Structure 1
Amino acid sequence: MRGHCLCGAIAFEVDGPAQACVVCHCESCRRQCSAPMTTYIGVLDGQWRWLGKSPKTFNSSPGVERTFCDHCGSPLSFRSKKMSNVMHFFSATMAEPEKFAPTLHVAFEEKLPWVKLADGLPTRFGPDYTKG
């Protein structure tokens, strides 16, 4: 499975299965993606790699690192110390995003009030989907 930024300067490849595919409503993800919510997949370290040029990083809050293309500005991924050993790639950057259907809404307490959902997916408060 491959993905890339808007201009194609930065690409990545995923070998292993996604640990999760979730919709995040947190303010940080909204701001990074300029969207009311975003969907990402979690991939274990060692099961993905950057191809060619590496992205730039930005520490958006303590323990959170976000990556982006320094040419076109596309957000690519984030990593959180709370969910160590997992890189989270925004599913819209994947070559075939339709293959990644979300199963959970996270950080639901930060959902914008005008967003109305009827997908029937469970919700979790806080961004960490790894907790029971």
Structure 2
Amino acid sequence: MTQIHTGGCQCGAVRYRAEGELGFPHLCHCRMCQKAAGNYFMPLGGVMYENFKLTRGEPAWFQSSETVRRGFCEKCGTPLFYDGSSDHISITLGSLDDPQSVKPEVQTNLAHKMPWFGTLDSLHHDAKMDMTPQEEETISASSNQHPDHNTEVWPRGNGDAEGRS
């Protein structure tokens, strides 16, 4: 059975579908990916162009170098794609509806990896800062974040009372 991966941006304006295994799932630590993600690394996995399609909206593109353009949602800013002008497009793994379904297998550009990154699991956990179930429910009830599945209509209130199909 062919794997189907769906995903999109935080606001739901851009959605996509990828068929098959996502190749070369990795964490890139290069400075350009750090800046594009606004994070310490960018998780990416590739799919052949013929197995990829946009199912809602169109991304905006930023030409980050001569050979690379990066797709993102123009409305909410979510980084979505890395297009390196080859036979595939790379998808940001965090934009998948089920991000835990694709485990990175390798890291790249370790010269730019944060030197303290390996110590993150030893950081103190402040449980007082965790959301309670009631806080999560309150936030969820008013959230403008697209749910982790395809919808016929989004945002809420456009004929789809709960924003789900």
Shorter-chain TM-score tier: 0.7 to 0.9
Note the aligned Cα RMSD (angstroms): 1.4
Match of 2:73 among 66, 69, 74: 69
Q: Report the equivalent of 2:109.
A: 107
d(CA) in 1 for partners of 2:119, 2:72: 28
SS in 1 for 2:44: strand
Q: Report the equivalent of 1:5.
A: 9
Does 2:91 match 1:89? yes
d(CA) in 2 for partners of 1:4, 1:117: 31
TM-score scaled by length of structure 1: 0.83
Q: Which amino acid aligns with 1:18?
A: L
d(CA) in 1 for partners of 2:35, 2:108: 16
Identity of aligned residues (%): 26
Query: Which structure is higher in strand share?
Result: 1
Match of 1:78 among 79, 82, 104: 82
Q: Choose 1 or 2 for highest CA Rg.
A: 2
Q: Report the equivalent of 2:118.
A: 116
Q: Which amino acid aligns with 1:65?
A: R
User: 1:112 offset after TM fit, Å?
Assistant: 2.2
Task: Render the CA deviation track for 1:6-64: whole Å, top value 9, x for unaligned.
Answer: 00010000012111210110111111111101211111110111112110000001100
TM-score scaled by length of structure 2: 0.67
Structure 1 gap ranges (5+): 119-132
Query: Which structure is higher in helix share?
Result: 2
User: 1:114 offset after TM fit, Å?
Assistant: 2.6
Does 2:58 match 1:54? yes
Paired residues for 1:24-43 under 5 Å: 24-43=28-47
Structure 2 gap ranges (5+): 121-165
Regions of 4+ moved over 3 Å: none
User: How many residue pairs end up in the alignment?
Assistant: 116
d(CA) in 1 for partners of 2:77, 2:23: 26
